[in-house]
Amino acid sequence: MGLHIVQELLDQGARVRVPIHQRPLAVKDDRIEVFPSDLTKQEDCLAVMQGVDCVFHAAGFVGGAGVGVDEAFANIGMNLVLAVQVIRAAWTAGVDRFLLFSSSAVYPAIDFPLKEEQAWAGSVHPSYFGYGWMRRYLEKLGEFVALKSKIKVALVRPTAIYGRWDNFDAQTSHVIPALIRKAVQKQNPFEVWGSGQEVRDFLHVSDLARGSLLALEKHAVCDPINIGYGKGYAIKDVVGMILKSADYREARVVFDESKPSTIPFRMVDISKAKLVLGFQPRVSLEEGLNDTVRWFKQNHSS
C-alpha cells in the first residue's frame, strides 16, 4: 500500500521520504529519499518528520485468517505502538496533514453496503475482534489529535485491497494473493478456505492510493471516509477469474469450510467518497487480477 502511495505522489511531483526498517525499498527511484529508521522509537520518528508537510502512515504488521492468537496479539500491539509513535512525532514536528488508515473491519456484521456512520451500530465481527477494535481506537486517537493540535487529519477506511507488491507469503497472505500463488504454482487440489460464498469488496491498490491522496487534499477533517470498489464478489467467482488469468483451467477446486474465512459478507458504500472526493474506482476486478497474476509470474513464480 505504501509503495503505491509513493508512486502516486511521485507522479504528482511531490518530494517523498520513505522510512525503511527491516525490508529494503522494493523500487529504485532517485526522487525518493530513503530514511533508515525504526518507527517504534520516538527519536527515529522525530528525525523522519523534519521538514515534512504531509504524512501517510502506512507502516504496520499484517496477518492472514489463519494466524495464531499470539501472533495476532503481537501484530495488534505493534500497530498501536507504531501509530502512537508516528502521530506523536508528527504533532511535535508541526506536520500540516496526516492520513490515518482505519479499516472496514471496524464495521459490525451487516449484510449490505455499509455507510460510514454505521461503524458504531454494533460490535465488530468476532473474527475481527482484536484488529477491528484496534482500528476503532486509532480513529479515536486521530480525533484526539485533530481536536488538540493544528494537524489536519484524514481518516480513510479501505476495503480489501490487492495488487502488485502484495504479500504472497503462504502463512500471512490475504485471500487474493494466496489464491494467485496457488494458481501460478498449479497446486492440485486447488484448496480454497471457506465455502466460496463469502462476499468481499475488493479494490485495486492503485485506486486506494489515488483515493488516499484525494482524502488528504479534500477531506482532512477527521471524518471517516470509505475507499472501496463499491461492489461485492463471491470468493468462488474470484477463484474462477484467478484460475483463468493464471491459465489453470484444469484445477480441481476444493472448498474447505473447516478453515477460517472470517466474515461472510463485507461491502462498503462509497457514495460519500464519490460526492466529497470525486473518487471513482478505475481498475475493474478482472483487469486488476490479470495484472497482479502477470506481475507475480514475472517476480515470484520461482
pLDDT at 190 over 60: yes
Which grid cell is 275?
Answer: 460526492
Percent of the chain clearing pLDDT 90 (strictly above): 87
The mean pLDDT value of the chain amounts to 94
Predicted pLDDT of residue 233: 97
CB atoms near residue 299 (< 10 Å) = 12
Q: Provide long-range contacts, Cβ within 8 A and 24+ apart, for 141-144.
A: 141/83, 141/84, 141/87, 141/100, 142/87, 142/98, 142/100, 142/222, 143/222
Q: Calculate the dihedral angle through the C-alpha atoms of 106, 112, 117, 119, rounding to the nearest 10 degrees.
A: -20
Predicted pLDDT of residue 35: 94
The full set of domain ranges for the chain reads 2-299
Multiple choice CATH, 2-299, 3.20.20.70, 3.40.50.970, 3.40.228.10, 3.40.50.720: 3.40.50.720
Instruction: Grade residue 137 by pLDDT with cuts at 50, 70 and 90.
Output: very high
pLDDT at 283 over 80: yes
Contact 5, 209 (CB under 8 A): yes
pLDDT at 66 over 70: no
CB half-sphere exposure, 286, CA atoms < 13 A = 4
Predicted pLDDT of residue 72: 76
Instruction: Grade residue 67 by pLDDT with cuts at 50, 70 and 90.
Output: low
Q: Which of 220-224, 257-261, 295-299 has the lowest mean pLDDT?
A: 257-261
Summarize the confidence of residues 129-157 as an average pLDDT. 96
pLDDT at 261 over 90: no
pLDDT at 183 over 80: yes
Instruction: Grade residue 65 by pLDDT with cuts at 50, 70 and 90.
Output: low
| Tens of pLDDT, residues 142-155 | 999 999 999 999 99
Q: How far is CA 41 from CA 37, 81, 146, 200, 235, in A?
A: 8, 9, 23, 36, 40
Predicted pLDDT of residue 38: 96
Contact 251, 182 (CB under 8 A): no
Backbone φ/ψ region at 75: left (φ over 0), alpha (ψ -120 to 50), beta: alpha
Q: Calculate the dihedral angle through the C-alpha atoms of 205, 246, 62, 136, rounding to the nearest 10 degrees.
A: 50
Summarize the confidence of residues 17-38 as an average pLDDT. 92
Backbone φ/ψ region at 281: left (φ over 0), alpha (ψ -120 to 50), beta: beta
